[in-house]
């Protein structure tokens, strides 16, 4: 069903499972304090790999969010999605009634899905034990089971989607949820991203394309977006989920509103399977599309007071994103604070956009810009204000969160302070 008049969309709940903490306040507190979650790989023996560091989730107990039987049937990335979604719905105080369930959508982003299950099951096959493959292998592997299981656990019978758009997936999932609420009659959406692929094959694969940092002797300083000495990203894991609600409904029930979703844009570089356009053209198209979408609410480029960058700590990404911001914002660009929380969380791949949109909403709530840590020797080609090393107080009326993925897929979302627009 499409409504004639676009509606407003509130962020009323946030759930986080991250390398810097599980739970909204713990994760956000560490981000504001500049405390990172990168360390030596502990979930398997990484001694034979070029990269032996990652940003692992350390404080997660699935039994806090599901029973033991369910836990045994789910891959880790699905568990993260379920847990973060339960947190977000509880945080929103949202009751999924029989009347609301068909009007509550679920959209998840995920890049590589159950890669660990695939690796483990392939080993079983190679040992000649095909009859020992788990009947849960396929459901544990396919990415859409993150959205499917969240719907099962929460009783959501509205539209159910997976965005498998690499590192832009979480942002695309939030953009889809926003459009379903604003334009297509949904009353609420549970949306964001999830990922857990700290595995031998994933790290070896990213090593093969020279994408990862090999700063194994100094993991805390390995993720260093916009720094001259960056040498690649650090793989992270976790989930970031938002509850979006139709504005008047949220207001009527007295919900606490973190932020309003004001605009969403997406684009494709149509350039290369892994490398971004070096002029930042595809990323610029995405940001410009989000600004156009938000212009219906009166948003102008000068209203954007902060950008949570994709900021991966790779040479090409950080330079092209800097160029893209300059292309879109022109003379305003040098006055807009830009930071990369990946400097602390590592790169959560398909979950990145969900986690970073949550951090952007919290920046709006608290009037605090998270820092880019490890920014010690700025790259001369990266010459914007990256909020180096220490968080900064700043009241925000609107902010943008960017995500860009392999295949040239891009997504940008604009959030605003409640009642500011």
High-pLDDT (> 70) share of the chain, %: 99
Asked whether residue 241 is domain-assigned, the answer is yes
Q: How many domains does the chain have?
A: 1
Look at residue 1 in the predicted model and tell me its pLDDT. 42
Q: Which residues, in sequence order, are CB contacts of 295 under 8 Å at separation 6+?
A: 263
Give the domain extent around 310: 9-416
Where the chain has pLDDT below 70, the residues are: 1-5
Let me know if 172 is a catalytic residue. no
Asked whether residue 1 is domain-assigned, the answer is no
Q: What are 229-265's pLDDT values in tens digits?
A: 999 999 999 999 999 999 999 999 999 999 999 999 9
Let me know if 184 is a catalytic residue. no
Model pTM greater than 0.95? yes
Asked whether residue 220 is domain-assigned, the answer is yes
Cα 394 to Cα 150, 366, 387, distances in angstroms: 35, 9, 11
Asked whether residue 31 is domain-assigned, the answer is yes
Collapse the DSSP code of 29 into the 3-class scheme (helix H, G, I; strand E, B; otherwise coil) and give the result. Answer: helix
Radius of gyration in angstroms for the set of CA atoms belonging to the chain, rounded to a whole number: 20
**21-22 and 39-40 strand pairing:** unpaired
Q: Are 337 and 305 in contact (CB under 8 A)?
A: yes
Q: Are 410 and 403 in contact (CB under 8 A)?
A: yes
Choosing from 106, 172, 310, 382, the catalytic residue is: 310
Asked whether residue 315 is domain-assigned, the answer is yes
Asked whether residue 4 is domain-assigned, the answer is no
Look at residue 68 in the predicted model and tell me its pLDDT. 97
State the CATH number of the domain containing residue 84: 3.40.47.10
Look at residue 121 in the predicted model and tell me its pLDDT. 84
Look at residue 246 in the predicted model and tell me its pLDDT. 98
**Continuous segment of H or E residues that includes residue 405:** strand 398-405
Asked whether residue 421 is domain-assigned, the answer is no
Number of Cβ atoms within 10 Å of the Cβ of 47: 7
CA 361 to chain centre: 12
Let me know if 167 is a catalytic residue. yes
Look at residue 61 in the predicted model and tell me its pLDDT. 98
Q: Are 351 and 237 in contact (CB under 8 A)?
A: yes
Place of tokens 């002029």: 279
Torsion 179-303-312-344 (CA) sign: negative
Strand partners, 16: 240
Choosing from 106, 167, 191, 382, the catalytic residue is: 167
Which tokens belong to 144? Answer: 């859409």
Q: Are 195 and 349 in contact (CB under 8 A)?
A: yes
CA dihedral of residues 170, 241, 293, 256 (deg, nearest 10): -170
Asked whether residue 287 is domain-assigned, the answer is yes
Choosing from 104, 110, 191, 347, the catalytic residue is: 347
- Per DSSP, the residues of 160-177 read EEEE--GGGHHHHHHHHH
Look at residue 290 in the predicted model and tell me its pLDDT. 98
Look at residue 2 in the predicted model and tell me its pLDDT. 44
């Amino acid at each position: 069903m499409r409504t004639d008049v676009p509606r407003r969309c509130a962020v009323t709940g946030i759930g986080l499972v991250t390398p810097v903490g599980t739970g909204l306040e713990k994760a956000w507190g560490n981000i504001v304090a500049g405390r990172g979650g990168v360390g030596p790989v502990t979930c398997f023996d990484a001694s034979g790999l070029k990269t032996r560091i990652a940003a692992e989730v350390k404080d997660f107990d699935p039994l806090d969010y599901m029973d033991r039987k369910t836990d045994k049937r789910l891959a880790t990335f699905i568990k993260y999605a379920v847990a973060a979604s339960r947190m977000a719905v509880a945080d929103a105080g949202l009751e999924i009634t029989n009347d609301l369930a068909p009007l509550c959508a679920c959209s998840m982003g995920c890049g590589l899905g159950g890669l660990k299950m695939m690796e483990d099951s392939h080993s079983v096959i190679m040992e000649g034990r095909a009859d020992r493959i788990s009947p849960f292998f396929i459901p544990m592997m396919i990415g859409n089971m993150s959205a499917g299981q969240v719907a099962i656990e929460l009783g959501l019978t509205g539209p159910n989607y997976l965005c498998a758009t690499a590192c832009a997936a979480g942002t695309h999932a939030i953009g889809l949820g926003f459009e379903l609420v604003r334009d297509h009659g949904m009353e609420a959406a549970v949306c964001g991203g999830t990922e857990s692929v700290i595995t031998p094959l994933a790290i070896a694969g990213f090593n093969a394309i020279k994408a990862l940092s090999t700063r194994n002797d100094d993991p805390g300083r390995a993720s260093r977006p916009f720094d001259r000495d960056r040498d690649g990203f650090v793989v992270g894991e976790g989930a970031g989920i938002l509850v979006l609600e139709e504005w008047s409904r949220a207001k009527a029930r007295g919900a606490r509103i973190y932020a309003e979703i004001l605009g969403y844009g997406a684009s494709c570089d149509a350039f290369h399977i892994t490398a971004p356009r070096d002029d930042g053209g595809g990323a610029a198209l995405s940001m410009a599309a989000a600004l156009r979408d938000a212009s219906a609410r009166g948003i102008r480029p000068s209203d954007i007071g902060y950008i949570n960058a994709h900021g991966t700590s790779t040479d090409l990404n950080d330079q092209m994103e800097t160029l893209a911001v300059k292309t879109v914002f022109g003379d305003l660009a040098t006055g807009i604070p830009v930071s990369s929380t990946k400097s602390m969380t590592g790169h959560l791949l398909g979950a990145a956009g969900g986690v970073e949109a949550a951090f952007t909403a919290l920046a709006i709530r608290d009037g605090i810009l998270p820092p880019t840590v490890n920014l010690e020797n700025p790259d001369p080609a990266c010459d914007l204000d990256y909020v180096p090393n220490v968080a900064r107080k700043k009241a925000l009326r609107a902010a943008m969160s960017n995500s860009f993925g392999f295949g040239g897929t891009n997504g940008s979302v604009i959030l605003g302070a409640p009642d500011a627009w």
